[in-house]
Amino acid sequence: MRPCGRRLIVLCGWGGWCGCELGFLGLLSEQAESGFVRPGLRVRICLPGAYSVYILGMSIRHGLLALLEGGPRYGSRLRSEFESRTGSTWPLNIGQVYTTLSRLERDGMVTQEEVDEAGHDLYAITEEGRAELRTWFGTPVDRSRPPRDELAIKLAMAVGAPGVDIRDIIQSQRHHTLKAMQDYTRLKAQALTDGPAGRAEVAWLLVLEQLIFQAEAEARWLNHCEMRLVRLAEDAEAEPPAAEGLPPTISTVPSAADRPHARN
Q: With pLDDT > 90 as the criterion, what percentage of the chain qualifies?
A: 43
Contact 222, 174 (CB under 8 A): yes
Is the confidence at residue 139, as pLDDT, over 50? yes
Domain-embedded: residue 101: yes
230, 155: one domain: yes
Contact 6, 20 (CB under 8 A): yes
Q: What is the pLDDT of residues 64-108, one digit of tens each?
A: 999 999 999 999 999 999 988 887 667 788 999 999 999 999 999
Q: Return the pLDDT at 184.
A: 92
154, 225: one domain: yes
Is the confidence at residue 136, as pLDDT, over 50? yes
Is the confidence at residue 217, as pLDDT, over 90? yes
Q: What is the pLDDT of residues 19-68, one digit of tens each?
A: 333 333 333 333 333 333 333 333 333 333 333 333 344 588 999 999 99
217, 157: one domain: yes
Q: Return the pLDDT at 50.
A: 31
Distance CA 121, CA 142 (A): 35
100, 73: one domain: yes
87, 110: one domain: yes
Decide which of 135, 159, 193 is a domain's last residue: 135
Which residue range is the domain that position 34 belongs to? 1-57
Domain-embedded: residue 261: no
179, 117: one domain: no
Domain-embedded: residue 258: no
Q: Of 99, 60, 106, which Cα lies nearest the Cα of 81? A: 60
158, 232: one domain: yes
1, 42: one domain: yes
Q: Return the pLDDT at 204.
A: 82
- Tell me which of 206 and 5 has the higher pLDDT: 206
Strand ranges in the chain using DSSP code E only, listed in sequence order:
7-10, 16-17, 42-45, 51-55, 110-115, 121-125
Residues 49-66, buried b or exposed e (16+ Cβ, 10 A)? eebebebbebbbbbbbbb
121, 199: one domain: no
3-state secondary structure (DSSP) of residue 16: strand
CATH of the domain at 130: 1.10.10.10
230, 188: one domain: yes
Q: Return the pLDDT at 90.
A: 72
94, 108: one domain: yes
Domain-embedded: residue 143: no
93, 49: one domain: no
Q: Return the pLDDT at 141.
A: 84
Residue by residue, DSSP assigns 88-152 as TSS---HHHHHHHHHHHHHTTSEEEEEE-TT-PEEEEE-HHHHHHHHHHHHSPPP-SSPPP-HHH
Please count the structural domains in the chain: 3
Domain-embedded: residue 163: yes
Q: What is the pLDDT of residues 144-201, one digit of tens each?
A: 887 788 999 999 999 888 999 999 999 999 999 999 999 999 989 988 887 656 777 7
Q: What is the pLDDT of residues 220-253, one digit of tens each?
A: 999 999 999 988 877 777 776 655 555 544 444 4
